[in-house]
Structure 1
């Protein structure tokens, strides 16, 4: 029974990070409610995780990783490297990821973000411009020279890759 409840609670994470990545891709905005929902959904998942045998110290590391990601996100936002929604999604996802999966989260997010930026540079080349203009408005905006990179896509992919190694998922798998 507890396995079913924990698994149901864990399903909120992938649904919300995918939604955040898609929203950033099509609108260059990640609504605050997505990051807040991730925070709110973590509480019952953590409590159920405790009941399922996740050590309190592991959840403490989740909190520490989330706090560190929030600080890093605020620094990146203040340097104008990422948007505010990206910083909040980055921190909220890191809270769920915890330690030691944080290394995977950072590496995959950085790698995907770099590859995505390179693809967007190619998409924004003058030689492809005429093809892009016939697409939907959100795609046309992606191809607009000088436009920013919707980094929520990379954050979502990094989070999804790292999530199976988080303490909560590993606890659910062990039940």
Structure 2
């Protein structure tokens, strides 16, 4: 009974926190360290409680560590933001090693579409109704980056039903 309850909690917690990260990234162009730490701590508590086997937990940690090394390099080159560099490996930790490549691919495709849309949006004058909002002015500014948390969130949500979290619910 506890493993099913923990799996449900993990399922909705991860979905909610990733959705929050995506929305917050669009609104503020930041992904908070607290959110990343909360996701990490929640995984550490909920994965064993949900009955996730040690092999899956270990391989998830291994793959997420590799992704962290890659995102650290991308961040140091200035290609991605610090929040994105931390959120991506933690999200990989949650989706698991079997879906990690698919997750990165989905996030990349969604991120590319988001980038193209923002580039087009930034070529147009900002609509008057949006000029009052700091977040829309920031998003419209050409010098502002791309909020890739907004791409990672839907990628995670698309794959969550295929993850070990969902199979623990069945």
The answer, yes or no, to whether TM exceeds 0.5 is yes
CA RMSD between the two structures: 1.6
Q: Gapped runs of 5+ residues in structure 2?
A: none
Which residue is equivalent to 2:127? 131
**Deviations 1:26-82 (Å, cap 9, x if unpaired)?**
0111110000000000012111233xxx33212211111211121111111111111
CA deviation after TM superposition for structure 1 residue 151, in Å: 1.1
Contact residue 97 and residue 166 of structure 1 kept, 8 A:
yes
Q: How far apart in 2 are the matches of 1:13 and 1:95?
A: 11
The answer for the alignment partner of 1:97 in structure 2 is 95
- Partners of 1:36 and 1:13 lie apart in 2 by 12
Number of equivalent positions: 168
Q: Which residue of 1 aligns with 2:67?
A: 69
2:148 counterpart residue number:
151
The partner residue of 1:78 within 76, 81, 92 is: 76
Secondary structure of 1:150 counterpart: coil
Q: Distance in 1 between matches of 2:10 and 2:160?
A: 13
Q: Tell me, yes or no, if the aligned pair for 2:96 and 2:164 is still in contact at 8 Å.
A: yes
Which structure carries more relative contact order (alpha carbon 8 Å, separation 6+)?
A: 2
Q: Which residue of 2 aligns with 1:28?
A: 29
Per the alignment, residue 120 of structure 1 pairs with 118
| TM-score, scaled to structure 2 | 0.91
SS of the counterpart of 2:78? coil
Could you state the TM-score of these two structures normalised by the residue count of structure 1? 0.88
* Unaligned segments of structure 1, at least 5 residues: none
Deviation at 1:117, TM superposition (A): 0.3
The answer to whether the 8 Å contact 2:11/2:160 transfers is no
